[in-house]
Every structure is written in C-alpha cells, then in structure tokens.
Structure 1
Amino acid sequence: MPATTIPSVPHYVPAPPTKEDLEWADLPIIDLSKASTPEGRAELAPQVRDAMRTFGFMYVVNHGLTQAQNERIFDIADVPFSQVAEDEKKQFSYDIKATGLYKGYKLRQYWHIDNGVRDQIEHYNSAYLHRTILKQDHPKALQPFLPEVRTFAEYNHYNILHPILRLLARGMELPEDTFVDIHGFDNKGEGWIRFMKYYPRTDEDEQKTKNVWLKGHMGATKQIFPVPVSALQIMSPDGKWRWIKHIDNALVINAGEAMEFLSGGFYKGTIHRVRQPPADQQGYPRLGVFYFALTDDDVVLRPLTQSPVLQRLKKKDAVVEEEVINGVVVKHWN
C-alpha cells in the first residue's frame, strides 16, 4: 500500500526556554506509562491524589506522544493565526459573552485586563470536536489538518485523560471508571482543542496591567502541551504566585472546577494566570495548545458522597455541639 501523506505546513519555531532563575512551582511529575497495569495504577494513584489535593496541577511524562508529534501539532496550531487573513478570521469569530459559545476565533482586544488595557490574545477553538469537527466550517487554511486534529483529540481523551480520571477515582476509593463514565467522547461529552497565541505588548500596557496578560481564573479539566515561553503561574498553597517551568514533551494537567465540585473539594481547582514572560523571552509570541475536557451534558456537578474518603473526612471534620438537658450531655453533629 502507498504511504499516507500528510499536508505540509510551515514549521513553527518557538522561543528558546528561559535561562532566568525564577521561583518555580514544585509540581509532582507523573509517569503515565505506569498506568497500564494494576500495580502501576496502585503506585500512581496516591501521587496523583496528593498532587491534585495540594497543587491542583501536575506534570505528566511518558504519555505516548513523541516530541515530533508535539512539534507537528504546534505547527498546525499556528495555522489559524499566521495563515488566515484578518477578514476571514472575523467570519469565524463569535461573541463569547453574548452567545456562550467557545467556538472559532476569539480575536485580540476582546477582554479588558486593567486600566483600559485590552488583551492581545487570539485563540481558535475546534468546539465540540468529537462530534462535528469534520462537519463544521473552518478557515480554508486549516481544513486540510482537521483529520489530524480529530485524531489528536481522540488520543488525548482516551490515552491521557481517561487514565488520569481512573487515578483520580482511585484516590477517592471509588470504582476506577467513575469519572471515565461521565466524560464521554462521541455521545454526550464535550471537549475541544484550543490553539492560543499571546502577542507581545507595549511597555505602557505592561505597566498599566502590572505585567498580567490573563487574570487569575479556574476552568475545566485541562491538558496543556509543552510551551517553551514561561508565562503560566499558579497560586501556590502558601498564597504566592509561582511559575510553571517548561519541561520538554511534558504535559501540564490541572483539575478544574468541575472536578472540585464532583470531589466535594477533595481535589483543588487551582487559580492560575498568565503574565509577561521573563526578560530573555520578551518580544516572542507565546503559542499554546490545550485540550479541554468537560463532563457529559447531563451530569449534575455535586459531590460523590459515596466515596469512602469523603465519608471519613465528613466524620473527621464534623462540628460537634453540646448542650446539657436535665443533667445529661447531648451532642449534636452539625
């Protein structure tokens, strides 16, 4: 059989990693290759549990995607920004605040950051990619790559997200597929690939915003692919902002608000933000690739109180009130 050819695309060359000694967040590194066996999952589950309870973020390595595959998806990620004219971008842009749709383009200067300064971020969402990405309208330059984007999303969902969800379930002593069963891909589930590009700003805008490019926020369960430009920070448990360090071919995973709700606060949806890169990376654009995973449409975001872990915590944290009635001490658990 003839070899399958893939469409050519200009190679995206990112900025070199920073050499500055920043205050890095000491995130755990999870070796996902171990998740393929029961023994490996038993070893990883407490590591993932503690990472998501303490930080809400972690690195994932040995996830099955090669460096070349990651470079290819970044080449594709730059297409909606460098290969599409402004007029065509406007045809595929949506008013997020008015429609609630994270679909197509979010163009620059849509969000207000501070002191009259608006954002310099463009992103392109392949919304509901698992259902209709091949049927949706997309910019002409991106269309040849849609099958690759769909395949990339499917790999992320089944080979990265699902193993992590199984580990999170084990961390709460729930059946392994508890979270997997409510994060579908082809039917009731939701998720999308986002390509996102931050453009450098003027010194005046940096001063007005105190170097913040995107304010602190939370969100859905998210996989962030390796971005050499350092700009992401998390709110550490001690209340200090710390930088997320770039590790070649390592993913950054965060839990998000939905997981915080479902776990009754056992797992943390950590606040994070994006700010101006360090001095040796200023002037470079910052291209990012993200996979967002939401629960199925019909899932009610309430704590899974059947978790033995939550039940033990409830007993431990119960507030005991006492009063004396006819000389007898009566206890009330609030």
Structure 2
Amino acid sequence: MTEISGIPVLSMADFEGRCGAFTERIGQGWREFGFVAVRDHGIDPEVIESAYAAFRAFFALPEEAKRGLRLPGKGGARGYTGFGVEQARDHSVPDLKEFWHVGREIEGENPQPDILLPNLWPQQPAGFRAAALALYRALDELGGQLLEAIALDLGLERHWFADKIDRGNSILRAIHYPPIADAPEGAVRAARHEDINLITLLIGSKEQGLEILTREGQWVPVTTLPGSIVVNVGDMLQRLTNHVYPSTTHQVVNPPGAAVRQSRYSIPFFLHPNPDFVIETLPQCISADNPNRYPESITAHGYLVERLREIGLL
C-alpha cells in the first residue's frame, strides 16, 4: 500500500476474495478518509482513453446540438445537462460545469421502466455509444468487486451486495468544466458536496482541482496516479453503515493562473443500489458508542429523489 495526499492506494491484485490485508486496508481507509485509490484494477487503458475522446468530442459540439439531447423533467437522469444547472446543497450559485449521463442498459424486461430510463445517444461523434458503454460496464464490474471487499470488512457474506446492485440506477457521468470567464461571485467548478450513492469510482482528471476535506477540517488536493481510480464513500453507504464509513466532503476548485482558461474533464461512476433496495442501518454498525442515527428506513430511489431536489435537478 502506498499513499498520495494521505489517501491509501491499494492494488486490486491483493484482493483474494476473503478477509485479509486488502479488506482491512480498504475498510481502514474508508473509516479514516472516506477515500481510497485502487490500481491494478484490470480496466484497459484504451477503454478509458476512448471514452475520454468521445466525451471531449461531444462537449465540443455546438450548444444547440447538445441542448437537443436533454431529457426534460427527469432530473438529468440521462443525456445532457447544460452549464450552470446543478448546484451543491447549501450553495447559492450553480457549479461551473456541464455533463452527460449514461445509465444502465437493461437486458430483457425492464422491472422499473419509470426509473431505469433508456439512454439517449447522440448521432455525433461516431462511436460515442460503444465507448461510453464499454467504460460503464468496466466500472460497474469493478464496483461490484470493491463492494465484495467491503461486505467482508463489515462482517457480511462476500456477495451480500450482488443482488442489491444488479439493477441499480448507477450513472456514468462525463463532466466538462469549461474555461472560466466572468463567473458569478462565489461560483466554482464543483462546490463542496458529498455524493448521493453507495460508492463513486472516479476516472481522475489530468488537471488539478479535486480537493477533499479532512477530519481535521483542512482541504487537501488529490491528484490521481496514472492507472489508478479514486473510490469514495457516498451518502447511501454512510447511512447504511451508520457512519462507520463516512461520506467525505469534496470539491473541485477553480485553478490558478493560465489554467483557468483551459477545460477540465473527469468521469465519475456513481454506483447505486437497486431502486427498491431499502436503506436500513446494518445491525453490526449499531452499538452503545454508535447508536442508530437512522431509525426510519428509506428506499434507494426515495433517497435519490430527495437529494436531486436539494441540488436543483428536480
């Protein structure tokens, strides 16, 4: 295990499918930081680069072409969300970003067609759909492996999460932070926030900007190592584990100097449980020292809707 900016970096090659050093380290990393990074994850670099190329080409399209791929009234669940729409909770101005959402492609009968919506696909650039879905599937598989390790760390059966995420409303989000000019006062690329979902797998940006808030209240910049993927706890997992795994506040700040005139791209994968999964505090995460913070349960979809309203997407 190595560290970057104090965040543990683990090798997926060390995960043996049982309790051991890997499960201990990822559990410790999430308890202390809410963030870890993983390498040797098996995702082909060409899959990542092809997706980046496709998304960069899409965001370079004229505004009218992109706006025609917006899905109204659905909280940005699929397709395009324009610049200056989403804003963080408790922040008065929107973030300086635009993004594209790819959801799960359902094979066979869709059990929840009103929630697991069909994807939108642009006609240009060529190869967009194939590149996006290849990365979606790779990150979905990796996320499942990471949840196996977490299940073991929590004292659950290794595959406890498997049938709870196989129809999850997980999202691949391609983000473009355009060059900054004449931004409203207080506006940043992504204001301080926590993620909504179970875990987030971040294909890191090559540009600076991501920062996490330590338990001591200090902002620490995070730069992804080549070939590594940053993985952080989301609010759903925080709630499920009664804050045993805390969801860490993070932000993307505006860059200094000439970098302010350059675009920034990143691709997080938000892994969600199935919409009807009931988020109910795990008994093993309740103790005299850590009483149950959430005596009332909620479905994953109900929780998602609450949060989408708070950030201005619904």
| TM-score over 0.5 for the pair | yes
Q: Within 5 Å, give how 1:49-198 maps onto structure 2.
A: 49-82=27-60, 84-95=61-72, 98-111=73-86, 118-130=94-106, 136-142=119-125, 144-158=127-141, 160-184=142-166, 188-198=167-177
Kindly provide the amino acid, as one letter, of the partner of residue 285 in structure 1: S
Say what the alpha-carbon RMSD is for the aligned residues.
2.7
On the 8 A contact 1:70/1:249 being kept in 2, the answer is no
Question: Which residue, 236, 240, 243 being the options, matches 2:221?
Answer: 243
Kindly provide the amino acid, as one letter, of the partner of residue 84 in structure 2: Q
What are structure 2's unaligned runs of at least 5 residues? Answer: 111-115, 292-314
Q: Within 5 Å, give how 1:280-299 maps onto structure 2.
A: 281-299=259-277
State the TM-score, normalized to the length of structure 2. 0.79
Shift of 1:272: 0.9
Can you list the C-alpha shifts for 1:20-39, whole angstroms capped at 9, x where unaligned? Answer: xxxx731000101222x246
Shift of 1:48: 0.5
Distance change (3 Å), C-alpha of 1:80 and 1:134 = farther
Report sequence identity in percent. Answer: 19
Question: Which residue matches 1:20?
Answer: none
Alpha-carbon distance in 2 for matches of 1:304, 1:121: 36
- For the pair shown, which has the larger CA radius of gyration, 1 or 2? 1
Kindly provide the amino acid, as one letter, of the partner of residue 303 in structure 1: T
Q: Within 5 Å, give how 1:220-235 maps onto structure 2.
A: 220=197, 221-235=199-213
State the TM-score, normalized to the length of structure 1. 0.75
Shift of 1:277: 2.2
Distance change (3 Å), C-alpha of 1:112 and 1:54 = closer
Shift of 1:279: 3.5
Distance change (3 Å), C-alpha of 1:273 and 1:135 = closer
Matched residue SS, 1:216: strand
Matched residue SS, 2:268: strand
Kindly provide the amino acid, as one letter, of the partner of residue 193 in structure 2: H
Kindly provide the amino acid, as one letter, of the partner of residue 100 in structure 1: G
Alpha-carbon distance in 2 for matches of 1:70, 1:287: 12
What are structure 1's unaligned runs of at least 5 residues? Answer: 1-23, 319-334
Kindly provide the amino acid, as one letter, of the partner of residue 180 in structure 1: A
On the 8 A contact 1:134/1:147 being kept in 2, the answer is no
Alpha-carbon distance in 1 for matches of 2:174, 2:188: 20
Matched residue SS, 2:282: coil
Matched residue SS, 2:189: strand
Matched residue SS, 1:229: coil
Kindly provide the amino acid, as one letter, of the partner of residue 267 in structure 1: Y
Distance change (3 Å), C-alpha of 1:283 and 1:244 = same
Question: Which residue matches 2:296?
Answer: none
Question: Which residue matches 2:14?
Answer: 34
On the 8 A contact 2:205/2:264 being kept in 1, the answer is yes
